[in-house]
């Protein structure tokens, strides 16, 4: 079945930087060519940004924050404009979907889901624009009142990865704007198209010039300069743990607050009393959704030994039926990986699994000679904690299976990782769900579902998965800061009553000047 979208050949798209509410030629003048990961076609060119472009964008965002209307609008006005942006993203669903498929290589039905998710996130963020309330203290003692107010944090620097370009943008940009911040966004150098498209839609929706700027380019140039920039007040980053560390180091230069959402190595724990049909489906979704290029991918499957053989056989059967190929085909389940280098990393991990003695029970090959970067759904059984595929984030369609006998063992295996983003539990027993969830070291736990979520629910990591919140009220509050105003309304008792200080020293009264 072909996509309803007319062909996949879109005219090649070219994007300038987007600064001060309009496209502008970058200082470097060069461009980054993006080739479709599924067939090698040139699909887009993005400006190859420079430090100068970042300076311009930060200056535009600063002016918009200090002098522009955006932070001064009422919450209701900001909400109305963000809702118009949500309408425009919805109206451009087909175009944005196609851009995500072309640039990321993900199957079209997942790309469409991303755009719908971006609309939902923008609407939810709009509702939060009206919720910027503070607190009042009136019991501080006679004649004292305090107001704790919430203010926008200022200019927010946002850095996004390539796996969900529009969706992760929508986890950050509308939340920042709802709070009254202005932003400079650096999208991934692989997938910048949707960011430029959405920034243009934001202007059409009524977001003032300079409130939403986009600078494309590489991490080592644009990303580094942006996250170390003295003109920013906050950094929200999503990407690898390695780059996250670098970004946090950058923010330390100017003591800027940050939120970093990094990688994961999530456990999907199936207890013997689970609804096994649902759990089979959840295991497949957990690891093969979005080609496995997903931070909350359930890439380590733990199955109770009592049900393991039958369960694993069913997963293998279902995985054999998955269709790998043209991401524009509605029937495709697994599209192309982001680029050649990433495919090489995934295949090296698969080779390490074989070398280290895991049992390869499905797939393992990347079809050679094809122009696209495809990888078969791959399943390893008998994976041990010491193996590379147990420990490293693979970020591809590769599942590692380990069997367990007791709850204790399942929890220990699940927590045996440097990461702590998400985990999944399958059991019909609510006591098992609650006790295991409480012991899992991760910011997210999902029970009897996989890769689920809603805009209201905050995503956060612990350990190597980072810190800070994305989405939910907590995600919105990241873009705000508190200000405490203490007001005395009654008479004040002096701390230094008049006449208590004997006055400045003088040699005449014998006090030494050095004693002051
Ligand atoms: O990520 P990077 P990469 C994981 C996944 C993947 C691996 C590498 O395991 O295989 O990371 O992916 C920008 N200062 N995740 O190399 O480098 C970069 O330009 C500031 C998990 O693509 O982290 C891009 O915009 N920014 C993850 C963004 O950081 C810098 C999603 C992410 O790129 C920078 C993606 C610098 N010095 C990969 N260097 C998730 N959490 O979902 C790079 N960037």
Average pLDDT, consecutive stretches of 10 residues, N- to C-terminus, the chain (516 residues):
46 93 92 96 97 98 98 98 98 98 98 98 98 95 95 98 98 98 99 98 98 98 98 98 98 96 97 98 98 98 98 98 96 97 98 98 85 95 98 98 98 98 98 98 98 97 98 98 95 83 65 47
Is position 341 within any domain? yes
Same domain, 252 and 277: no
Same domain, 298 and 196: no
Picking from 411, 470, 479, the residue whose alpha carbon sits closest to that of residue 121 is 470
Same domain, 55 and 194: yes
Q: What is the CATH number of the domain that holds 317?
A: 3.40.309.10
Same domain, 370 and 406: yes
Picking from 80, 86, 49, 37, the residue whose alpha carbon sits closest to that of residue 338 is 37
Pick the atom of ligand 1 nearest to 243's CA: 23
By alpha-carbon position, which residue is closest to atom 4 of ligand 1? Answer: 240
Long-range contacts of 5-11 (CB under 8 A, 24+ apart): 5/94, 5/97, 5/98, 5/108, 5/328, 8/98, 8/101, 8/102, 8/328, 9/41, 10/43, 10/98, 10/99, 10/102
pLDDT score at 4? 40
Is position 418 within any domain? yes
Burial of 226 (0-12, 13-18, 19+ CB in 10 A): buried
By alpha-carbon position, which residue is closest to atom 44 of ligand 1? Answer: 219
Mark whether 261 is an active-site residue. Answer: yes
Pick the atom of ligand 1 nearest to 224's CA: 14
Same domain, 74 and 109: yes
228 CB near ligand 1 (under 6 Å): no
Write the CA distances from 247 to 153, 262, 342, 469, integer angstroms.
18, 11, 22, 16
Q: Whole domain around residue 372: which residue ranges?
A: 267-455
Same domain, 178 and 287: no
Same domain, 251 and 293: no
By alpha-carbon position, which residue is closest to atom 16 of ligand 1? Answer: 240
pLDDT score at 235? 98
CA angle, 104 then 110 then 115, to 5°: 85
pLDDT tens digits along 151-173: 999 999 999 999 999 999 999 99
Write the CA distances from 511 to 354, 492, 497, 508, integer angstroms.
84, 32, 22, 8
In angstroms, what is the span from residue 161 Cα to ligand 1's centroid? 6
In angstroms, what is the span from residue 458 Cα to ligand 1's centroid? 21
CA R_g for the chain: 26
Same domain, 320 and 380: yes
Is position 485 within any domain? no
Is position 81 within any domain? yes
Q: What is the CATH number of the domain that holds 163?
A: 3.40.605.10
pLDDT score at 509? 56
Please give the Cα distance from 206 to 194 (Å, whole number).
Answer: 18
In angstroms, what is the span from residue 243 Cα to ligand 1's centroid? 6
pLDDT score at 3? 43
Is position 198 within any domain? yes
Within 8 A by CB and 6+ apart from 221, the residues are 49, 50, 51
Same domain, 93 and 123: yes
Is position 2 within any domain? no
Same domain, 277 and 397: yes
Are 34 and 12 in contact by the 8 Å Cβ rule? The answer is no
In angstroms, what is the span from residue 189 Cα to ligand 1's centroid? 10
pTM: 0.95
Is position 451 within any domain? yes
Check 102, 103, 261, 293 and give the catalytic one: 261
195 CB near ligand 1 (under 6 Å): no
Is position 131 within any domain? yes
Long-range contacts of 469-477 (CB under 8 A, 24+ apart): 469/259, 470/171, 470/172, 470/175, 470/236, 470/238, 470/259, 470/261, 471/121, 471/124, 471/171, 471/175, 473/128, 473/131, 475/171, 475/175, 476/125, 476/128, 476/131, 476/175, 476/178, 476/179, 477/150
Same domain, 415 and 448: yes
Same domain, 398 and 422: yes
223 CB near ligand 1 (under 6 Å): yes
156: which strand partners?
183, 234
What are phi and psi for residue 145, nearest 5 degrees?
-135, 140
Domains in the chain, number: 2
In angstroms, what is the span from residue 504 Cα to ligand 1's centroid? 62
């Amino acid at each position: 079945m072909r996509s309803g979208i007319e062909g996949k050949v879109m005219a090649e798209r070219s994007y300038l930087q987007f600064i001060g509410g309009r496209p502008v030629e970058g200082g470097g003048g060069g461009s980054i060519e993006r080739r479709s990961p599924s067939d090698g076609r040139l699909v887009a060119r993005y400006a190859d940004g420079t430090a100068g472009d970042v300076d311009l964008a930060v200056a535009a965002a600063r002016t918009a924050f200090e002098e522009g209307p955006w932070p001064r609008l009422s919450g209701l006005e900001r909400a109305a404009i963000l809702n118009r942006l949500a309408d425009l993203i919805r109206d451009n669903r087909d175009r944005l979907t196609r851009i995500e498929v072309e640039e990321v290589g993900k199957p079209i039905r997942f790309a469409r889901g991303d755009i719908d998710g971006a609309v939902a996130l923008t609407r939810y963020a709009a509702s939060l624009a009206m919720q910027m309330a503070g607190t009042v203290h009136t019991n501080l003692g006679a004649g004292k009142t305090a107001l704790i107010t919430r203010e926008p944090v200022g200019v927010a620097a946002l850095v996004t990865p390539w796996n969900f370009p529009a969706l992760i943008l929508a986890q950050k940009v509308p939340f920042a704007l709802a709070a009254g911040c202005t932003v400079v966004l650096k999208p991934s150098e692989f997938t910048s198209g949707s960011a430029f498209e959405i920034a243009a839609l934001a202007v059409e929706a009524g977001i003032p010039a300079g409130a939403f700027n986009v600078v494309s380019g590489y991490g080592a140039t644009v990303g580094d300069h942006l996250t170390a920039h003295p003109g920013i007040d906050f950094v929200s980053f999503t990407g690898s743990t390695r780059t996250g560390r670098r970004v946090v180091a950058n923010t330390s230069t100017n003591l800027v607050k940050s939120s970093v959402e990094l990688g994961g190595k999530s456990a999907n724990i199936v207890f013997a009393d689970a609804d096994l049909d649902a759990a089979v489906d959840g295991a497949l979704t957990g690891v093969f959704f979005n080609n496995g290029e997903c931070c909350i991918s359930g890439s380590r499957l733990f199955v109770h030994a009592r049900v393991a053989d039958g369960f694993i056989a069913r997963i293998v059967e279902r995985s054999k039926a998955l269709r790998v190929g043209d991401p524009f085909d509605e029937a495709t389940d697994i599209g192309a990986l982001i680029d050649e280098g990433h495919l090489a990393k995934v295949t090296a991990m698969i080779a390490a699994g074989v070398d280290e003695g895991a049992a390869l029970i499905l797939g393992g090959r990347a079809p050679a000679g094809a122009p696209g970067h495809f990888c078969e759904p791959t399943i390893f059984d008998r994976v041990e904690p010491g193996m590379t595929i147990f420990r490293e984030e693979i970020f591809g369609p590769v599942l590692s299976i380990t069997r367990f006998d007791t709850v204790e063992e399942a929890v220990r295996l699940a927590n045996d990782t440097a990461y702590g983003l998400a985990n999944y539990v399958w059991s019909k027993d609510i006591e098992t769900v609650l006790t295991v969830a409480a012991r899992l070291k991760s910011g997210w736990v999902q029970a009897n579902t996989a890769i689920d979520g809603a805009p209201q629910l905050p995503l956060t990591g612990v350990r190597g998965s980072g810190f800070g919140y994305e989405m939910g009220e907590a995600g919105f509050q990241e873009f705000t800061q508190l200000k405490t105003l203490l007001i005395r309304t009654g008479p004040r008792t002096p701390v230094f009553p008049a006449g208590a200080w004997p006055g400045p020293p003088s040699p005449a009264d014998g006090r030494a000047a050095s004693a002051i």
